[in-house]
């Protein structure tokens, strides 16, 4: 009997697997696998979410006007060129839908966000991987992969799961040396955490070009991952294209309300940044004291490296941590089988992970099995 067949390439997609969170049976679970903020959402955002609960029978504003204007006010952007979506994932999907077709190619970096190859392949395109240099984006490697079939370059800056970034000068060089018909997508999901003076999330480049888009998310520093909310800043013509294909009510009323309040609660965002500034270097130092290599990060997570062989491996340590109710992120699917990614948690959570790792590694030194 004949059955419906999906479009070519869809069954070749490896489904995205989120960070684990355990069975939920223990009240002591420590989930540091999804780069969520340990401070939670702004109390103002929670209140705004609750305030609209009695009006859920009504459709939301299909243009998310209040949210776009709040974002524009905070970042000094043109609200008419902001597109909101159900997480930045939806915005990435819309960009691929609009600019990738059968036979086209989209470029991503070696350890880039796993959503990029999914949205490229889902639209009939071919993902092309550019090698990184010491876990950092290599602009020359990206340019070497460009062909006459290239339509999009996805660049996470800072990158997930490495936590590394490239300076604005390199991003501008990439844009300058790409063909004008190649769309450059700058994914700034972790931009709010970055302090480096040579870093720019991309808004100025969007303003000065017709072929660059910056995407952002409310899932990280704003603590609204459960609501699914993201946005993009686009050239006018690209914003027009995305508005033609996005769902008419693709952002929910509670998400809009909470998003507006979160953006305007600058004190809460500042507190989240300060927390990260305190604990990111502390964790890096403590992990290195344990003999573990750590990739320098400008985001809210650390990539921790383990030996390829021997008693102490990423897999074994991951299993041992889970037995203690601690969940980090395996990153083998990112081409990093010998590493774990750790989100910066609360002070107590961070200390608990270091204590657990010290116990696990000390047991290994005594010849005990790990895992």
d(CA 166, CA 155): 10
Is residue 370 within 8 A of residue 312, CB to CB? The reply is yes
Is residue 338 within 8 A of residue 307, CB to CB? The reply is yes
Domains 10-40+267-365 and 43-265 share a fold: no
* 286 CB neighbour count, 10 Å cutoff: 19
d(CA 226, CA 228): 6
What is the pLDDT, as a whole number, of residue 8?
Answer: 79
Is residue 9 within 8 A of residue 124, CB to CB? The reply is yes
pLDDT greater than 90 at residue 368: no
Chain segment 269-292, per-residue pLDDT in tens: 999 999 999 999 999 999 999 999
Would you kindly state where each structural domain of the chain is located, as residue ranges? 10-40+267-365, 43-265
d(CA 358, CA 316): 14
- Residue 205 CB-density burial (10 A; 0-12 exposed, 13-18 middle, 19+ buried): buried
Tokens standing for 310? 């021997």
What is the pLDDT, as a whole number, of residue 371?
Answer: 60
* CA 132, chain centre distance (Å): 18
Q: Within 13 A of 21's CA, how many CA atoms are on the CB side?
A: 7
Tokens standing for 6? 């999906």
**How sure is the predictor about 26, in pLDDT bands with cuts at 50, 70 and 90?**
very low
Residue listed under structure tokens 């006010």: 73
**How sure is the predictor about 24, in pLDDT bands with cuts at 50, 70 and 90?**
very low
d(CA 273, CA 259): 18
pLDDT greater than 60 at residue 369: no
Chain segment 164-183, per-residue pLDDT in tens: 999 999 999 999 999 999 99
Tokens standing for 85? 């979506």
Phi and psi at 345, nearest 5°, equal: -105, -160
Chain segment 42-58, per-residue pLDDT in tens: 999 999 999 999 999 99
Alpha helix locations (H) across 52-167?
Answer: 65-75, 87-99, 115-122, 139-144
Is residue 192 within 8 A of residue 220, CB to CB? The reply is yes
Percent of the chain clearing pLDDT 90 (strictly above):
88
Is residue 99 within 8 A of residue 107, CB to CB? The reply is no
Give 43-265's CATH code, choosing from 3.30.390.50, 3.90.930.12, 3.40.640.10, 1.10.287.3510: 3.40.640.10
Chain segment 189-214, per-residue pLDDT in tens: 999 999 999 999 999 999 999 999 99
Is residue 100 within 8 A of residue 152, CB to CB? The reply is yes
Residue 185's DSSP bridge partners are: 154, 213
Question: With a threshold of 0.75, does the pTM exceed it?
Answer: yes
Tokens standing for 81? 């060129």
pLDDT greater than 80 at residue 370: no
Alpha helix locations (H) across 248-365?
Answer: 253-264, 266-289, 314-323, 347-365
pLDDT greater than 60 at residue 27: no
pLDDT greater than 70 at residue 156: yes
Phi and psi at 67, nearest 5°, equal: -70, -45
Which of 9-23, 61-75, 125-139, 299-313 shows the lowest per-residue confidence on average (mean pLDDT)? Answer: 9-23
Tokens standing for 252? 């929910």
d(CA 127, CA 106): 5
d(CA 208, CA 201): 14
Residue 327's DSSP bridge partners are: 31
What is the pLDDT, as a whole number, of residue 28?
Answer: 76
d(CA 140, CA 170): 10
Q: Which fold has domain 10-40+267-365?
A: 3.90.1150
Chain segment 218-263, per-residue pLDDT in tens: 999 999 999 999 999 999 999 999 999 999 999 999 999 999 999 9
């Amino acid at each position: 009997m004949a059955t419906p067949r999906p479009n070519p390439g869809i069954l070749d997609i490896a489904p995205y697997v989120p960070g684990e969170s355990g069975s939920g049976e223990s009240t002591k679970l420590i989930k540091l696998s999804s780069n969520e903020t340990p401070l939670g959402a702004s109390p103002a955002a929670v209140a705004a979410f609750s305030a609209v609960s009695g009006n859920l029978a009504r459709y939301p504003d299909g243009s998310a006007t209040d949210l776009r204007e709040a974002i524009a006010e905070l970042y000094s952007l043109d609200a008419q060129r902001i597109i909101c979506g159900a997480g930045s994932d939806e915005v990435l999907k819309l960009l691929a839908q609009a600019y990738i077709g059968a036979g086209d190619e989209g470029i991503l970096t070696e350890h880039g966000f796993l959503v990029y190859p999914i949205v490229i392949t889902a639209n009939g395109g071919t993902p092309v991987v550019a090698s990184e240099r010491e876990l950092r984006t290599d602009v020359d490697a990206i340019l070497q992969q460009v062909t006459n079939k290239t339509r999009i370059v996805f660049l996470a800056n800072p990158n997930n799961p490495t936590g590394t970034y490239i300076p604005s000068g390199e991003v501008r060089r990439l844009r300058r040396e790409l063909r004008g018909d190649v769309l450059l997508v700058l994914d700034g999901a972790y931009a709010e955490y970055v302090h480096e003076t040579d870093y720019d999330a991309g808004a100025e480049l969007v303003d000065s070009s017709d072929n660059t888009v910056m995407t952002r998310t409310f899932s990280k520093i704003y603590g609204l991952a459960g609501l699914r909310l993201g946005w993009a800043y686009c050239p006018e013509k690209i914003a027009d294209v995305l508005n033609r294909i996005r769902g008419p009510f693709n952002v929910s009323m509670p998400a809009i309300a909470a998003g507006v309040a979160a953006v305007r609660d600058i004190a809460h965002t500042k507190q989240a940044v300060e927390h990260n500034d305190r604990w990111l270097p502390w964790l890096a130092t403590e992990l290195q004291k344990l003999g573990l290599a750590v990739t320098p990060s400008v985001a809210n997570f650390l990539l921790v490296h383990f030996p390829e062989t021997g008693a102490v491996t990423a897999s074994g340590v991951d299993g041992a941590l889970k037995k203690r109710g601690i969940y980090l992120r395996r990153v083998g699917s990112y081409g990093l089988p010998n590493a774990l990614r750790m989100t910066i948690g609360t002070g107590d959570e961070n200390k608990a992970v270091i204590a657990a790792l010290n116990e696990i590694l000390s047991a290994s030194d005594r010849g005990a099995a790990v895992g």
